[in-house]
Every structure is written in C-alpha cells, then in structure tokens.
Amino acid sequence: MSDLNSDLNNNVDHTEIDKFSQIAAHWWDPEGQFKPLHAINPLRLSYIEEHSQGLFDKKVLDVGCGGGILAEALAGRGARVTGIDMADASLEIARLHSLESGVSVDYRCVSAEQLATEQAGQYDVVTCMEMLEHVPDPESIIRSCAQLVKPGGKVFFSTLNRNVKSYLMGIVAAEYLLQWVPKGTHQYQRFIKPSELIRSADRADLVTRSATGLHFDPFNQQFVLSQRNLDVNYILHCEKL
C-alpha cells in the first residue's frame, strides 16, 4: 500500500513546493507577492460561477489551492469546498485564514491522483487554476480532475499559453519588469498551448465548452476577461461526458 501511495503522490516538483512554501506567509497580502492572484480572483470566481449555473450547495474541489484565495471565494458563494495542495506551509496559512474569516473550507494535503482513488465522481465542480504549469505531468492532473467530477459536472483549468508573447508577458514583464510575481515563478517550457490542453481534456473524457483569455488592461490598470484571444493567460471550461 505504501508503494501505491508513493506512486500516486509522485507527480510533485519539490523545487516548486519549496518555492511556494518559502513565501507562504504572503498568500493573503493583497499588495504582496500574490497580488496578481488577488486581482484576478473576482474574474475567475465569476467565470466559474456563471458556467456552473451557480455554486450554492454544490460540492466543489479546488486542486492546487495554495493559501485558499479561490477556495474561500467559492465557499463564500455557498459551495461546500475542499481544497487540496501538496505544500503544507500554504495549507497552514489557508487554515488559519479560514478560522479568521469564518469561511469554512476543508483543506487536505493530498495529491489529486490520491484523492481520485478515494472520491471518484463525488464533485459537482472541480477547479485547477494556475497549477498545471507547476507539475511534471499535467496530464495526470487533468485525468484525476476528470475522475473526481460527477458525470455532467464542470471542470475549470487555467494556465499560460506557450508562445513568444506569453514568454514576454508571463516571465519577462511579470517577473522582471513589473515584479508582479517572484523571479523564477514560471518555467516557459511548462507553459501549455490551448490546443494541447483541449486534447488532454478530450483524452480524459472531458468536453471543452468554452475558453476565455485573461488580459491586463494598462489603461484602466485592471485585469479583464476576453474571448478575443488566449495568447497569454487563459481559462478552459470543460464538462464530464
């Protein structure tokens, strides 16, 4: 059994875990190193809520929940939320903030693969946001999300496209020029093209229903959703067949 558990938990880049553990204390600082996540969170939440036909009383899983920014927002809409992550330090911050805010979320340190063996087909909605580009085998995560959601349930993925523009915006600008996120947050070779993500979702029996790009509007100094292009950050909305 221990060997099986090891196999189910080996889709982890420990360098990535250490990286986020070192800055875990900053998860809930809206002006700190996770400022972009705070800025885009209302957009992510509204997109998920709209395409899930509401969240009230639905069972929701947030894969790669980190410090709980999205998980708490989902729970605030009346969902029954479980958040999972492999970084204990981030989960401790998430649990502490949940106690302070009074917003109930069930946080667990478990891999998506392991949870899929325990709770297959139990969730109405599964979210996996800004996480696929941080694991060695993103397709394994996609398969696990598909296993965890109920037939007819919704799955949402967000990640970074892989092209020259996304490299310039997601790494050069975000990490070095604007310093929105710490240097070294992203690795370009792990960015995922929408066509690749759609194919992986299709292989996992998920049908893609819609997609939207996430853009920074420099004139209004805010992020906006736009279906016009998926050049940099994008969200994919899928449904379990």
For residue 128 the two structure tokens come to 């996996």
Hunting for tokens 């790494």 — which residue is that?
171
129 assigned binding-site residue: yes
Q: Does residue 209 contact residue 237 with C-beta atoms inside 8 Å? A: yes
Q: Does residue 151 contact residue 125 with C-beta atoms inside 8 Å? A: no
CA distance 137 to 142: 9
44 assigned binding-site residue: yes
13 assigned binding-site residue: no
Which phi-psi region, left, alpha or beta, contains residue 149 (left: φ > 0; alpha: ψ -120 to 50)? beta
Q: String of b and e for 18-30 (b: at least 16 CB within 10 Å)? A: eebbebbeebbee
What is the widest separation between alpha-carbon atoms in the chain?
Answer: 56
| The 222-226 sheet, strands edge to edge | 106-108, 80-84, 59-63, 123-129, 149-160, 233-240, 206-217, 222-226
64 assigned binding-site residue: yes
Question: Which distant-in-sequence residues (6+ apart) come within 8 Å of 87 by Cβ?
Answer: 17, 20, 21, 24, 66, 109
Q: Does residue 151 contact residue 33 with C-beta atoms inside 8 Å? A: no
Annotated binding-site residue numbers for S-adenosyl-L-methionine: 44, 64, 85, 129
Residue stretches of the annotated binding site: 44, 64, 85, 129
